[in-house]
Amino acid sequence: MGAKGHGKASGAGTVINAIATYKGSAFGIDLWTYAEVELGDDFRGIEGEIELEGERETGTDTRLIERCVESVLRKFDLPLRGYVKTRSEIPVGSGLKSSSAAANAAMVATLDAMGEKQEEGMGALDAIRIGVDAALDVGVSITGAFDDACASLLGGFVITDNKKRELIKRVEKDFEVLILVPRKKAFTVHTDVKRSRLIAPWVDIAYELALEERFEEAMTLNSFLYCAALNFDPEPMVKALECGIKGVSLSGTGPSFVALVDEEKGERLHETWGELGVEERVIKRKVNNQPLLLL
């Protein structure tokens, strides 16, 4: 029996999608991915398992979580022998940062399994950069999603430069979050990057709003731009604005929408989104401000 560790990381919602400009902003949502890691010489390499909705997913690509465990072990010059299992309540392929959460949870669990060795030096940004490299290596991300990974591991609202892999700002704010999750999925790797780059000058304007901590205005402007570029129907956004909500966004490359709400407006939007007549579900959560590793 080897050393065991546990970890978790949250999903996240989009303020600024970084595909157009490599500058992004996102916020943590208390939807969680949990990871268990066991290390020991009994294993012949690093193997992974993904559980969704209580059942093991056969045929699911486990390369991302395996690569994250491998990279952490390499950093500490430890044998590449272990087993990693994740289970998640974050809908996959919905723009809610399930890949970033899986990578982060796997790394936190690996550090936990290592015990005192983790004190030798891996801060949150070190872990995040390892996860970004892993996401690029296995092809689940276009930019590496540094902004999403920061929001997932650090919580709060983050603003980043994804090209430089710099955290520009982190702010904690309390909001309830309403999430519209359509049944169809939209994976980031299938995104039309060329169309996204056309809207870059206007995404820069939204990014400046985020730097001023005007996150609601920033995410709404960002979302109208990306809905146009990626051919998403903006009707869920318009419905949210009709309910008096200031901050609503296409999350990532869709298809989910996220809205920052208070209780009264949230109830109104929950009812309104439920009447859209498309196959979807509405999830109510809060912004997660809890950092899972220290900077």
**pLDDT at residue 90, as a whole number:** 93
Question: Cα separation of 280 and 225, whole Å?
Answer: 23
**pLDDT at residue 251, as a whole number:** 94
**pLDDT at residue 52, as a whole number:** 74
Counting every residue, how long is the chain?
295
Percentage of residues in the chain having pLDDT higher than 70: 92
Residue 195, token pair as written in the block: 């169309």
**pLDDT at residue 115, as a whole number:** 85
**pLDDT at residue 280, as a whole number:** 76
Order of all β-strands in the sheet with 257-261: 247-250, 257-261, 176-182, 280-286
Q: Tell me phi and psi for residue 105, to 5 degrees.
A: -60, -40
Question: Cα separation of 232 and 249, whole Å?
Answer: 11
Q: What fold, for 176-286? A: Alpha-Beta Plaits (3.30.70)
**pLDDT at residue 118, as a whole number:** 63
Q: Is 266's pLDDT higher than 50? A: yes
Q: Is 119's pLDDT higher than 80? A: no
Of residues 192 and 114, the one with the higher pLDDT is: 114
Q: Is 285's pLDDT higher than 60? A: yes
Percentage of residues in the chain having pLDDT higher than 90: 76
Q: How many CA atoms lie within 13 A of 267 on its CB side?
A: 2
For residue range 163-189, list pLDDT tens digits in order.
Answer: 999 999 999 999 999 999 987 765 554
The overall pTM is greater than 0.75: yes
What mean pLDDT do residues 29-42 have? Answer: 95
What mean pLDDT do residues 65-69 have? Answer: 96
Domains 3-171 and 176-286 share a fold: no
Q: Is 3's pLDDT higher than 80? A: yes
Find the angle CA(193)-CA(194)-CA(197) to the nearest 5 degrees. Answer: 85
Question: Cα separation of 293 and 277, whole Å?
Answer: 41
Q: Tell me phi and psi for residue 87, to 5 degrees.
A: -135, 140
**pLDDT at residue 50, as a whole number:** 93
Q: Does residue 255 have a cis peptide bond before it, meaning omega lies within 30 degrees of 0?
A: yes
Q: Where are the domains of the chain?
A: 3-171, 176-286
Question: Cα separation of 8 and 85, whole Å?
Answer: 11
**pLDDT at residue 189, as a whole number:** 47
> With left for phi above 0 and alpha for psi between -120 and 50, is residue 192 left, alpha or beta?
beta
For residue range 120-160, list pLDDT tens digits in order.
Answer: 678 899 999 999 999 999 988 777 799 999 999 999 999 99
The answer to whether domain 3-171 has CATH 3.30.230.10 is yes
**Distance set, CA 127 to CA 16, 117, 255 (Å):** 22, 14, 28
Which H/E stretch holds residue 51? strand 46-52
Of residues 12 and 52, the one with the higher pLDDT is: 12
User: What integer best gives the mean pLDDT of the chain?
Assistant: 91
**pLDDT at residue 59, as a whole number:** 60
Those residues with Cβ within 8 angstroms of residue 214's Cβ, 6 or more apart along the chain or in another chain: none
Q: Is 286's pLDDT higher than 60? A: yes
What mean pLDDT do residues 112-116 have? Answer: 87
For residue range 218-265, list pLDDT tens digits in order.
Answer: 999 999 999 999 999 999 999 999 999 999 999 988 899 999 999 899
**pLDDT at residue 120, as a whole number:** 61
Residue 23, token pair as written in the block: 């500058």
Which H/E stretch holds residue 209? helix 200-211
